[in-house]
């Protein structure tokens, strides 16, 4: 009788142990899945804003002129073309925005908020830090509004009036905000990656470095020039 009872107790304990282990493994797998999905969403936001920032009005006009002169040697520019090129840079930026955002119907702010919500189920403290840090949600909201404003102007074909429109933020402030947002997102990405695994952390760190070093070259222009010509005709 005593031995039978011992067997029952041991069996019950083993069953409980197996059940607990299974639960912990499932929990760990779900947790890893959530952090990997969150990491992907944040990388998407960072990558899209990084491409927008690459189109810097300070030197982009000369880069664009150089590309066109090399690609089409018979095309010449003079001083009066400068104002037109400033407009073209804005249109070019909008093309990049539309092309990148067409991959995702959500706004930056909405995608960021949903990512934080997912993270909060497994790491509420990290979610709180991401939500609070640099008021990034509000910054992303401003960027969304800026993008919508530019798109509305271009969609209405009022290209000639683009420079006269009062933007939600000035070009210089826009660049500053986006660059600060990129830095903030980089910190967020590293934190989320570390929650997934050490391997993810170093992979993200390497990826960010590679993406930041990408320059605006002929390949970059080749992707957008046909659409640019169509939009400014």
Q: How far is CA 115 from the centre of its chain?
A: 12
Angle (nearest 5°) at CA 99 between 192 and 158: 130
Per-residue pLDDT at 175? 65
CB atoms within 10 A of CB 55: 22
Residue with the bigger pLDDT between 1 and 213: it is 213
Of the candidates 133, 146, 152, the one whose C-alpha atom is nearest the C-alpha of residue 42 is 133
Q: What is the pLDDT of residues 13-40, one digit of tens each?
A: 666 556 656 555 666 667 777 777 888 8
Q: What is the pLDDT of residues 91-100, one digit of tens each?
A: 666 666 666 5
Q: First-to-last CA distance in the chain?
A: 94
Is the model's pLDDT at 133 over the cut of 60?
Answer: no
Query: Considering just the CA atoms, what is the radius of gyration of the chain in Å?
Result: 25
Residue with the bigger pLDDT between 121 and 150: it is 121
To the question of pTM greater than 0.75 for the whole model, the response is: no
- 3-state DSSP call for residue 142? helix
How far apart are the C-alpha atoms of 25 and 27, rounded to whole Å? 5
């Amino acid at each position: 009788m005593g031995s039978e009872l011992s067997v029952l107790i041991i069996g019950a304990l083993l069953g409980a142990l197996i059940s607990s282990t299974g639960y912990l493994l499932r929990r760990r797998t779900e947790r890893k899945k959530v952090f990997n999905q969150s990491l992907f969403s944040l990388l998407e936001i960072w990558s899209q804003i990084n491409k927008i920032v690459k189109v810097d009005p300070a030197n982009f006009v000369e880069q664009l002129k150089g590309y066109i002169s090399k690609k089409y040697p018979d095309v010449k520019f003079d001083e009066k073309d400068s104002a037109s090129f400033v407009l073209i840079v804005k249109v070019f930026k909008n093309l990049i925005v539309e092309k990148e955002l067409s991959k995702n119907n959500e706004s930056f702010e909405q995608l960021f908020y949903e990512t934080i919500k997912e993270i909060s189920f497994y790491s509420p403290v990290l979610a709180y830090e991401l939500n609070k840090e640099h008021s990034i949600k509000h910054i992303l909201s401003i960027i969304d509004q800026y993008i919508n404003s530019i798109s509305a102007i271009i969609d209405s074909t009022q290209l000639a009036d683009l420079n006269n429109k009062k933007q939600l933020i000035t070009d210089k402030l826009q660049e500053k905000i986006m660059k600060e947002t990129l830095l903030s997102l980089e910190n967020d990405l590293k934190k989320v990656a570390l929650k997934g695994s050490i391997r993810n952390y170093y992979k993200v760190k390497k990826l960010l470095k590679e993406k930041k070093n990408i320059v605006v070259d002929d390949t970059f222009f080749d992707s957008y020039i046909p659409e640019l010509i169509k939009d400014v005709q």
